[in-house]
Amino acid sequence: MDANKGKGDQGMQNPGGQLDRPVTFNFLESMLPKVVKRRVHALKRLQVQCANIEAKFYEEVHELERKYAALYQPLFDKRRDIVTGTVEPTDEECEWHSDREEEEELAVSTTLDIFLIETFQKFKLLYVIVYIALLTVQEEVKEKAAIEDAKKEEAKPEEDPKGIPEFWLTIFKRVDMLSDMLQEHDEPILKHLRDIQVKFSEPGQPMSFTLEFHFEPNGYFNNAVLTKVYKMKSEPDASDPFSFEGPEIIDCEGCQIDWHKGKDVTVKTIKKKQKHKGRGTVRTVTKQVPNDSFFNFFNPVKASPDGELDEDSEFTLATDFEIGHFFRERIVPRAVLYFTGEALEDDESFEEEELEEGDEEEQDEEGDEDDDDGDFDPKA
Amino acid sequence: MDANKGKGDQGMQNPGGQLDRPVTFNFLESMLPKVVKRRVHALKRLQVQCANIEAKFYEEVHELERKYAALYQPLFDKRRDIVTGTVEPTDEECEWHSDREEEEELAVSTTLDIFLIETFQKFKLLYVIVYIALLTVQEEVKEKAAIEDAKKEEAKPEEDPKGIPEFWLTIFKRVDMLSDMLQEHDEPILKHLRDIQVKFSEPGQPMSFTLEFHFEPNGYFNNAVLTKVYKMKSEPDASDPFSFEGPEIIDCEGCQIDWHKGKDVTVKTIKKKQKHKGRGTVRTVTKQVPNDSFFNFFNPVKASPDGELDEDSEFTLATDFEIGHFFRERIVPRAVLYFTGEALEDDESFEEEELEEGDEEEQDEEGDEDDDDGDFDPKA
């Protein structure tokens, strides 16, 4: 169902909106009697006023998001500390029942309780003993379950991992939009990714948000944080006020990665043999050429102010905006659900709902909202 | 592009959400070492806390929407007064240039101005006369245009229509999701539709919004206003907190239409001949059966609390929720753009963007976001 696709977009309705929609001359309108036409024009002027009010609304929503970002942050910090192994959660903090476990226990205890009541009614005098006996049974059942769990453990390789190993890398691998960018040589680097954070622009500043990729010290680059800034615009376009659908990403900016010598995965060095025309001597020259890598994400194609971009660059840029939006709205707020895959199930089920609406195309297994973007390379 | 589909959904991310998505047992999770698994469970508990904060966020967005509804209302009232002919907008209020007119005028005046400057430089002394002369030319050009306009007028049937005739009916006809519901016998009734308004629930009340269809006195029913209430829920579901995507429509309620005798288009009377077994006498009995009509919109299928609905009813209900959402988010806020068709062009261009992403299906001419819902009949 269509409105489902709005999920999580309260802050930015239209990230790709910088691809303008033309306002074409309207036939019906031109056929109206002049007196009616001028009234329609009056309504259009009112509509422009509505668009300006709407812009103010989205600015306030942005403020709300900044306010709530502060409320989420302590939870996200806790998440980072658990992921990196800085903090070991208490047993209470880890209490969680998968549906299955729940059912099992529920089954056990309810049958026991019913039995208990009946027993209680039948031989009131014995009920204490019976009660204790039955509690013991219940305990035994639980112990048995525990032992089985333990057995499962033994099956696995004995290890004592720190935090949640490869937490973010696993997410990159599971989410199609990200795995499209991911190259094998990126994976060892992303194992050092400790956290991804979203920072909103300060009030009064031009509207924007920044993705911060926090890395632990690693052998690849010196930056502790890689940043990608997405600049937004929240005013109706004077030339086309009716296309306004809320803040839209209009530009983005990466950052300089301070690679260790020979570790830059965004370029590859190719050797070329050159033969000297005259002497016929052969020398080898090395040349650096661009290389596919997620880290090209931090060196995006520049949006030109006059919107003069070739189709490829425009599509690449739109895809980049999509990805930035997806990090902000989905990955960062609910990372664990992309790690476990639960969020992917959600996204799939949306596609299924789309299918219900007569869409014929086939869906792939781990589809997320933004499938089919194809391989992503900001330099393409 | 996907996030575009979020357009206008800031207030309700998930109108169709009442169709639950199952949380299936996760394989990867079950394969993790126990120590890691418990940390993931800790993250899930944090994620539940995030969902609860998110719920608060959406409540505040709802408050914002109520606040802004009050800011839009004067403009919408003005719209209604112009549509109904209660108010005649001033010339200033009607000033509007379609792209084409603009170009024409621009062309005329610039050539004149350039000519003017050259002339001015050539014979400085005569420039005043020339200037006047050329102004006259410019006037003549404009007059000519005016006359041509007038001619265009004559071509049309002479009439003095009140306000903007059939404003809302035209919208119903142009928007596929609405025309799907529309029957021929509905049209004369909808000519009496003066306004559609959205009313939000008061703070402290359970979240909901009401669509109000305001009719002028008419020969069909006594109600001045027909209402459809959409009840929403903005808390994560305890059994499935991660499926929470913001407020969702969980139920809707129509209203009793007080039809004039024999005017109810939602039923049709069929005559049946019955033959008496014994005497063989034939008598005619009349029987009322449901009839397709937009006005069935005010008698929706009931959502059952336990969610026990057959597939058809569930789809019908989901479609009804879609339509309510569409009235609230698109039709009411920008009615004039659906009247002129400009909003439809926008909606089309979104579909085209979807196509870019490898979607093969064909689009129809006047596609709006929620095409392909098929015929709608709440009683189906």
Is residue A360 over pLDDT 90? no
Please give the residue of chain A at the shortest CA–CA distance from B11. A10
Query: What confidence tier does A301 reach under pLDDT thresholds 50, 70, 90?
Result: confident
Would you tell me which residues 315-334 of chain B have a C-beta closer than 8 angstroms to some C-beta of chain A? 315, 318, 321-322, 325-326, 329, 333-334
- Within 8 A of B5 by CB-CB distance, chain A residues are 2, 5-6
pLDDT, position B301 = 86
In this complex, is the C-beta atom of B290 within 8 Å of any C-beta atom belonging to chain A? no
The residues that bridge with B211 in the sheet, in sequence order, are B198, B228
Nearest CB partner across the interface for B42, out of A16, A82, A245? A82
State pLDDT tens for residues B272-305: 888 888 888 888 888 889 999 999 999 998 876 6
In chain B, domain spans: 34-89+163-262+293-351
Beta strands at B248-253 and B208-215: parallel, antiparallel or unpaired: unpaired
Average pLDDT score over chain B: 77
- Within 8 A of A176 by CB-CB distance, chain B residues are none
Helix H segments across chain A? 27-31, 34-84, 91-94, 99-122, 127-155, 167-174, 176-179, 187-190, 311-326, 335-340, 342-356
In this complex, is the C-beta atom of B39 within 8 Å of any C-beta atom belonging to chain A? yes
Is residue B125 over pLDDT 60? no
- Within 8 A of A246 by CB-CB distance, chain B residues are 7-8, 10
The answer to whether the CB atoms of B79 and A246 lie below 8 A apart is no
pLDDT, position B192 = 97
Q: What percent of chain A has pLDDT over 90?
A: 51
CB atoms within 10 A of CB A262: 6
CB atoms within 10 A of CB B360: 9
State pLDDT tens for residues B15-62: 444 333 334 445 666 688 999 999 999 999 999 999 999 999 999 999
DSSP assignment letter at B157: P
Average pLDDT score over chain A: 77
Q: What is the mean pLDDT of residues B106-110?
A: 45
DSSP of B11-74: T-S-TTTTSPPP-PPPHHHHHS-HHHHHHHHHHHHHHHHHHHHHHHHHHHHHHHHHHHHHHHHH
Query: What confidence tier does A313 reach under pLDDT thresholds 50, 70, 90?
Result: confident
In this complex, is the C-beta atom of B362 within 8 Å of any C-beta atom belonging to chain A? no
In this complex, is the C-beta atom of B372 within 8 Å of any C-beta atom belonging to chain A? yes
In this complex, is the C-beta atom of A63 within 8 Å of any C-beta atom belonging to chain B? no
State pLDDT tens for residues A244-271: 989 999 999 999 999 999 999 999 989 8
pLDDT, position A356 = 42
Distance from CA of A94 to the nearest CA of B (A): 4
pLDDT, position A344 = 85
Cα B162 to Cα A109, A373, B85, B166, B191, distances in angstroms: 73, 51, 5, 10, 12
**Phi and psi at residue A47, in whole multiples of 5°?**
-65, -35
Nearest CA among A15, A344, A370 for reference residue B357: A370
In this complex, is the C-beta atom of A166 within 8 Å of any C-beta atom belonging to chain B? no
Query: What confidence tier does A355 reach under pLDDT thresholds 50, 70, 90?
Result: very low
Burial label, A277 (beta-carbon count in 10 A; 0-12, 13-18, 19+): exposed
Comparison of pLDDT for B267 and A143, the residue scoring more:
B267
DSSP assignment letter at A330: I
The answer to whether the CB atoms of A361 and B361 lie below 8 A apart is yes
- Token pair for residue A68? 């709530």
Q: Among A45-59, A148-162, A359-373, name the most confident range.
A: A45-59
State pLDDT tens for residues B202-252: 888 899 999 999 999 999 999 999 999 999 998 998 888 998 989 999 999
Length of chain A counted residue by residue: 380
* Contact (CB, 8 A) for B220 and B237: no
The answer to whether the CB atoms of A45 and B353 lie below 8 A apart is no
Comparison of pLDDT for B55 and B375, the residue scoring more:
B55
pLDDT, position A227 = 98
The answer to whether the CB atoms of B53 and A61 lie below 8 A apart is no
Residue B369 makes CB contacts below 8 A (sequence gap 6+) with A2, B5, B7, B326, B330, B347, B350
Is residue A243 over pLDDT 80? yes
Nearest CB partner across the interface for A3, out of B9, B47, B53? B9
CA A158, CA A293: separation in Å to the nearest integer?
34
pLDDT, position B248 = 92
The answer to whether the CB atoms of B58 and A10 lie below 8 A apart is yes
- Crossing angle for the helix pair A127-155 and A99-122, nearest 10 degrees? 160
Q: What helix, strand, coil percent values describe chain B, rounded to 5?
A: 50, 15, 35
pLDDT, position B217 = 97
Is residue B376 over pLDDT 50? no
CA angle B2, A252, A301 (to 5 degrees): 90
CA angle B182, B186, B190 (to 5 degrees): 100
Distance from CA of A73 to the nearest CA of B (A): 10
pLDDT, position B313 = 87
Q: Which CATH number fits domain A34-89+163-262+293-351: 3.30.70.870, 3.90.226.10, 3.40.50.2300, 3.30.1120.90?
A: 3.30.1120.90
State pLDDT tens for residues A175-185: 999 999 999 99
Query: What confidence tier does B1 reach under pLDDT thresholds 50, 70, 90?
Result: very low
Would you tell me which residues 168-187 of chain B have a C-beta closer than 8 angstroms to some C-beta of chain A? none
* Contact (CB, 8 A) for B255 and B226: yes
Residue A134 makes CB contacts below 8 A (sequence gap 6+) with A112, A115, A116, A119
* Contact (CB, 8 A) for B343 and B369: no
State pLDDT tens for residues A49-71: 999 999 999 999 999 999 999 99
In this complex, is the C-beta atom of A285 within 8 Å of any C-beta atom belonging to chain B? no
In this complex, is the C-beta atom of B77 within 8 Å of any C-beta atom belonging to chain A? no
pLDDT, position B96 = 87
DSSP of B271-318: EEEEE-TTT--EEEEEEEEE---GGGGGSPPPPPTT----HHHHHHHH
To which residue do tokens 């069909």 refer? B220
DSSP assignment letter at A364: -
pLDDT, position A27 = 60
Is residue A319 over pLDDT 50? yes
Predicted model pTM: 0.71
The answer to whether the CB atoms of A165 and B36 lie below 8 A apart is yes
Distance from CA of B355 to the nearest CA of A (A): 11
Would you tell me which residues 214-233 of chain A have a C-beta closer than 8 angstroms to some C-beta of chain B? none
- Within 8 A of B245 by CB-CB distance, chain A residues are 4, 7-8
Is residue A73 over pLDDT 60? yes
- Within 8 A of B6 by CB-CB distance, chain A residues are 5-10, 12-14
pLDDT, position B345 = 65
Please give the residue of chain B at the shortest CA–CA distance from A17. B4
The answer to whether the CB atoms of A6 and B2 lie below 8 A apart is no
Q: What is the mean pLDDT of residues A352-365?
A: 41
In this complex, is the C-beta atom of A239 within 8 Å of any C-beta atom belonging to chain B? no
pLDDT, position B236 = 92
Nearest CB partner across the interface for A8, out of B13, B61, B243? B13
Nearest CB partner across the interface for A68, out of B38, B57, B79? B57
Helix H segments across A182-334? 187-190, 311-326
Helix H segments across A220-327? 311-326
* Contact (CB, 8 A) for A167 and A357: no
The enclosing H or E element of A205 equals: none
Beta strands at A208-215 and A193-200: parallel, antiparallel or unpaired: antiparallel
pLDDT, position B306 = 65
The answer to whether the CB atoms of B160 and A35 lie below 8 A apart is yes
In this complex, is the C-beta atom of A151 within 8 Å of any C-beta atom belonging to chain B? no
- Within 8 A of B88 by CB-CB distance, chain A residues are 39
CA angle B173, B175, B177 (to 5 degrees): 110
Please, what's the largest Cα pairwise distance for chain B?
Answer: 114
A378: left (phi over 0), alpha (psi -120 to 50) or beta: alpha
Q: What is the mean pLDDT of residues A267-286?
A: 86
Is residue A337 over pLDDT 80? yes
* Contact (CB, 8 A) for B267 and B160: no
CB atoms within 10 A of CB A105: 15
DSSP of B207-227: SEEEEEEEE-S-SSBS-SEEE
DSSP of A54-105: HHHHHHHHHHHHHHHHHHHHHHHHHHHHHHHTSS---HHHH----HHHHHHH
State pLDDT tens for residues B308-339: 778 888 899 999 999 999 999 999 999 999 99
Query: What confidence tier does A101 reach under pLDDT thresholds 50, 70, 90?
Result: low
Q: What is the mean pLDDT of residues A105-121?
A: 44
Is residue B102 over pLDDT 50? no
Query: What confidence tier does A312 reach under pLDDT thresholds 50, 70, 90?
Result: confident
The enclosing H or E element of A281 equals: none
* Contact (CB, 8 A) for A269 and A259: no
